[in-house]
Structure 1
């Protein structure tokens, strides 16, 4: 006989609110406590009380199931649906329509297309300041400018773009609040630039996306999804290089970035909803349950990684455990912008002067994405 969600281990809850208060105030501590409870019970799944049935899985096997069983674990009704910045487009398109939509978008974000954008992006990068500066604020600006170059040939109004992206860095519920006037202004600007591309042609991402059905919506959503994820990964990479200048060599940058994404994955928690009941290792998971997987937890699991809390780029001389390293998701729904983000970050790191870390707060701070609480103050050596 199958057990129920009520039989699963769970972190301590509060009377009346379950885990909602802790989910809002200290989500990393909450899921770490849940993981500890699950492992102590010999399981890889624990329960959260978030106002609806919810489970969090720990193991690579769970990650693989959630990310490959696309008919059971669907995106409609996931966390993305409650954030206007992410609610739509390919992010919330499920099987059978997802595959065709993704194939239509892939060419613009493929390796070849990204290579054609590299020089334009490099030229748009913010100069590294002289003297001491906050690497987090600098990363925010340089990523915004480079994405503007990649998407719009730097023609999008920078102040409007900054205003559009700013709420994403605020804690909940700020990113989930509707902003119809701001979104309307952004969509009007995207449409104005897209109409020019359709008339005159172009060689930026908007030129590729504009002719596609729903292409302007995909432009707005993918831009929002790209900015903070890339900013936070870049900021952490700059900080780690400033702390360990011996790693500031081109042949180590890829390993440094991978180690950043293991310890501090911007997409720290992924979510799906069950379109039908499923069974997992003797537990029945009902239809409608929120199914969560956490790159943050699997990236720090001591059963999968040696000394997991240490920042050790040399660990990437070997391949990671399968389905344990998921900074860009996995399977058919791997992040659309993976090549764009990696190219941008590695090119920025290649041009960094030697830096020295002075002081900062690199504590992981979860919101829509995971980033350093900051600031991260560095200086040219």
Structure 2
């Protein structure tokens, strides 16, 4: 019988005396996980260890992604990173089996293609004008997505100033998004109750009209709204930047490939986390119950063993199917992102409405926070 090894057998990035990987995790997490993935590849494996104050492993292969995302009884959301961020600590995001599937079934109709198609005209009308001169695509995308989400969720009726105040901390470096904001959340919940009551009494066809009648539906609205804003903003900003740099891709038939390529290179959800409900054996290593189990769409999308020229922006690669379980900007399995179709609808709608653009100057280097976005600014202009 083979002898199982412990976590000490796993490769890991270089550590710092006294704090393991905590300092690098806080200050330069992309470089940290890239070093870990390289160490794993050099050892002939696909998992590496991080020393974050509790047992933690990161997998960087399609096999690991598939196992983690299709075994919800072992890899659970309770106790994952989402729990420490008040914006995400609730609703279906943290509901595990057996409650997750029926809860998700209740919410799916509102976020499905058929219902979202009925909202397209409303969201299109909410799109702000494109400035005549130079403008920062990142700042413009932030403003645009605020308006689009207000239209999709609330028919544009949510107090814009309060909506901006609620979502602004998510765009700050960690740990700012994790700080408690009880008074702000009370104001937001009061606005949700006001609008939710109107939907229950007078009806409506926006997303709140679907969520408000559900038990805990107002919490689901608040959490899914927070999850949608920065992810959609950053993907849209990168898409604007790349079609401005390479305008041959700024035609409707190419926009789906542009967005897929943006999400491969810069997945807003750059790291996903679960906790182990039981011990797991992976390639002869025992990972103990309670450990953090991480997967990274950022690493999978840039793995040179899976993609040709992985650091290049090449929308043409999407003429072929991607490697299975290597492209995960919206997660996978039964917990695939609830807002996937909403984000795609909004971004494609914006790209289709934009005039030709040209890039002026900018810093697109990925900056990890709660989500992955460009360091910015990304200055563009009308062509």
TM-score range for the pair, normalised by the shorter chain length: over 0.9
Aligned to 2:318: 316
Return the alpha-carbon distance in structure 1 between the equivalents of residues 204 and 71 of structure 2: 38
Aligned to 1:85: 87
Residue among 23, 34, 59 paired with 2:25: 23
C-alpha distance after superposition, 1:12-62 (max 9, x if no partner): 011111100000000000000000111000010000000100000010000
Cα drift, residue 154 of structure 1: 0.2
Aligned to 2:107: 105
Aligned to 2:331: 329
Aligned to 1:300: 302
Name the SS for the 2:166 alignment partner.
helix
Return the alpha-carbon distance in structure 1 between the equivalents of residues 161 and 363 of structure 2: 27
Return the alpha-carbon distance in structure 2 between the equivalents of residues 3 and 116 of structure 1: 55
Name the SS for the 1:9 alignment partner.
coil
Residue among 260, 265, 268 paired with 1:266: 268
What TM-score results when the alignment is normalised by the length of structure 2?
Answer: 0.99
Return the alpha-carbon distance in structure 1 between the equivalents of residues 103 and 205 of structure 2: 21
Unaligned runs of 5+ in 1: none
Aligned to 2:247: 245
Work out the number of aligned pairs and report it: 381
Name the SS for the 2:119 alignment partner.
helix
Q: Which runs of 4+ in 1 moved over 3 A?
A: none
Return the alpha-carbon distance in structure 1 between the equivalents of residues 343 and 241 of structure 2: 18
Please give the residue correspondences for 1:1-381 in structure 2 after superposition, counting only pairs within 5 Å.
1-381=3-383
Return the alpha-carbon distance in structure 1 between the equivalents of residues 100 and 285 of structure 2: 29
Name the SS for the 1:307 alignment partner.
coil
Return the alpha-carbon distance in structure 2 between the equivalents of residues 203 and 32 of structure 1: 44
Return the alpha-carbon distance in structure 2 between the equivalents of residues 116 and 175 of structure 1: 33
Cα drift, residue 309 of structure 1: 0.4
Name the SS for the 2:354 alignment partner.
coil
C-alpha distance after superposition, 1:241-289 (max 9, x if no partner): 0000111110000000000000000000000000111111111010000
What TM-score results when the alignment is normalised by the length of structure 1?
Answer: 1.00
Return the alpha-carbon distance in structure 2 between the equivalents of residues 221 and 78 of structure 1: 16
Name the SS for the 1:54 alignment partner.
strand
After superposition, the CA RMSD in angstroms is 0.4
Name the SS for the 1:96 alignment partner.
coil
Cα drift, residue 172 of structure 1: 1.0
Return the alpha-carbon distance in structure 2 between the equivalents of residues 71 and 149 of structure 1: 37
Cα drift, residue 85 of structure 1: 0.2
Return the alpha-carbon distance in structure 1 between the equivalents of residues 6 and 90 of structure 2: 32
Name the SS for the 1:358 alignment partner.
strand
Cα drift, residue 307 of structure 1: 0.5
C-alpha distance after superposition, 1:47-82 (max 9, x if no partner): 000010000001000000000000000000000000
Cα drift, residue 126 of structure 1: 1.2
Cα drift, residue 6 of structure 1: 0.9
Name the SS for the 2:118 alignment partner.
helix
Name the SS for the 1:371 alignment partner.
strand
C-alpha distance after superposition, 1:159-187 (max 9, x if no partner): 10001000001111100000000000000
Return the alpha-carbon distance in structure 2 between the equivalents of residues 250 and 147 of structure 1: 22
